[in-house]
Structure 1
Amino acid sequence: MTARKGKDLLIKIDDGGSFVTVAGLRARRLAFNAESVDITDAESSGRWRELLGGAGVQRAALSGGGLFKDQTSDALARSVFFASEIRDWQVVIPEFGTVTGPFQIVALEYAGRHDGEMTFEIAMESAGELQFAAV
């Protein structure tokens, strides 16, 4: 696989029938995490830590930031946040695959300087099982 442009990583929100790309993003990030369950005891071999496979909680965090464009996707994200709604989101990772599943917006921030553009930051946490479809 060759290097890919960061702009090709897309974050999309379900608008009730299809997925629309969140407009104006300059940066995007998808992070997967899994908790470990420590089962080490006095009889663990060589006092090495032991973990219980398949027992921890998995989660994903999705975030992005960019220019406020006041487009359809901006209005949708805003209304979903204020309604504390859980929506399906989709992350398209070029030449890798697509991650789809329910997320809740946990942070929505707007900023602007008097001599610059208005920007926004958005953060989401997974709220259920995610599906991965390879390219």
Structure 2
Amino acid sequence: MAAQCGGAIVVSFETAGETPTYKVVAGLRTRSISLNSETVDVTNADSSGHWRELLAGCGVRSASISGSGVFTGNEGFDEVQDAFMDRSVRDAKILIPGWGTFEGPFRVSSLEISGEYNDSVQCSMSLESAGALTFTAIGA
């Protein structure tokens, strides 16, 4: 795969309402997804050479999406704010160019707005997975 432009990563958040759609969270300068998998240690006195043994196919998986950038007050960010305020779980998508899209339920775990007197208003957000995610590869 060829190198990709980091600015092409897109985070979209589900709108509330009878017919939910996705809105891009605009203004983000940095975006990332962290995929995590806990391990289950089954090492015991019979473990070969006293090496740690991990149980395959076991353990909790999770994902975190984060982003920060210039506060634009767009519809996507408004939806993130609303979900934070009412502590709801909504679907989010993150598109990684050249790889694919992760999609599933997330809860907003942190939301920050900041500003300095001689700079733009900044924002940052963190989303934590709240259920199973799907991955759709580019071209699939």
- Return the TM-score normalized by structure 1: 0.97
SS in 2 for 1:73: helix
Contact 2:102/2:136 (8 A) holds in 1: yes
Q: In 2, distance between residues paired with 1:95 and 1:67?
A: 25
Q: How does 1:1-135 map to 2 (within 5 A)?
A: 1-16=1-16, 17-135=20-138
Q: Sequence identity, in percent?
A: 38
Counterpart code for 2:99:
F
Q: In 2, distance between residues paired with 1:12 and 1:75?
A: 12
Instruction: Give the drift of 1:11.
Output: 0.5
RMSD between superposed Cα atoms in Å: 0.8
Counterpart code for 2:77:
D
Counterpart code for 1:68:
F
Instruction: Give the drift of 1:118.
Output: 0.1
Name structure 2 gaps, 5 residues minimum. none
Q: In 2, distance between residues paired with 1:65 and 1:32?
A: 18
Instruction: Give the drift of 1:37.
Output: 0.4
Query: Which portions of structure 1, spanning 4 or more consecutive aligned residues, are displaced by more than 6 angstroms?
Result: none
Alignment length (residue pairs): 135
Q: In 1, distance between residues paired with 2:93 and 2:100?
A: 10
- Return the TM-score normalized by structure 2: 0.94
Instruction: Give the drift of 1:76.
Output: 1.3
Cα deviation code 1:60-86 (max 9, x no counterpart) = 011000111111112111111000010
Cα deviation code 1:10-69 (max 9, x no counterpart) = 100011432111010000010001000000000111111111011110000110001111
Counterpart code for 1:108:
L
Name structure 1 gaps, 5 residues minimum. none
Cα deviation code 1:80-102 (max 9, x no counterpart) = 10000100000111121110000
